[in-house]
Chains A and B, each alone.
Chain A
Amino acid sequence: MKEIKVLGTGCAKCTKSVEVITKIANELNIAVHITKVIDPEVIMAYSIMTTPAIIVDEINVHSGSIPHREAIIMWLKD
């Protein structure tokens, strides 16, 4: 199962990103485990500077905005 983390200190865009990814995963019927990370210490450890940042299986694939649909599909299918 894919392990997806959405990093962000509680902004609206982070919540939205979680929603979008969950929705697309459901549509595609792909099992994912999504967690929201708001602890600044953990975010620092990933050396992220813009949020929301998306970590898929411990790899930082995106940061700074709500990801596009095509990108999400690519991560999920990959």
Chain B
Amino acid sequence: MQALTNRSKAVDRKPMTIWDKMYIPAIAKGMGVTLTHFFKKKATIKYPEEKRPFSPVFRGLHILNRDEEGRERCTACGLCAVACPAEAITMEAAERQPGEEHLYREEKYAAKYEINMLRCIFCGLCEEACPKDAIYLSETFAPANFARQTFIYGKNDLLIPDPKTEPELYQKAVGERGRKA
């Protein structure tokens, strides 16, 4: 039979010699192996102090984005909710009133925008569906909590900090992924 990889080895079926049956040499060899590991570099990352960098495709908590002037991008078109396979997203649309132009980018905006984090599977389809770059998945973990109700994230949980009034928090929330986009 042709081997699929070049790693295959024929199994050694020779009966054990007396030397093998003593096991002591094999044990000594094994002990040598474990001892070399004693001095090897440790793979541990000391978590709270040291954080492991996320992979570029990591999908964490959602963020509702703003544009450069701090206006909400979301127009409550509902494409994200349609795209969501877990049906985690719900929203209510409202019309922008005169004098609110500095708050919302388009004439329509999401008065209520909720993601049920208990249902969300972090697939990222909402991000792909959004025509306005309004929702994207950041690099933050979903935090633990005690009450189920707290896992329904409203707009105040999701909205990114205003880049004009809170530039530092905004940069932190945008993270590496958002900066590229």
Q: Do A and B bind each other?
A: no
Q: Which B residues contact A (CB, under 8 angstroms)?
A: none
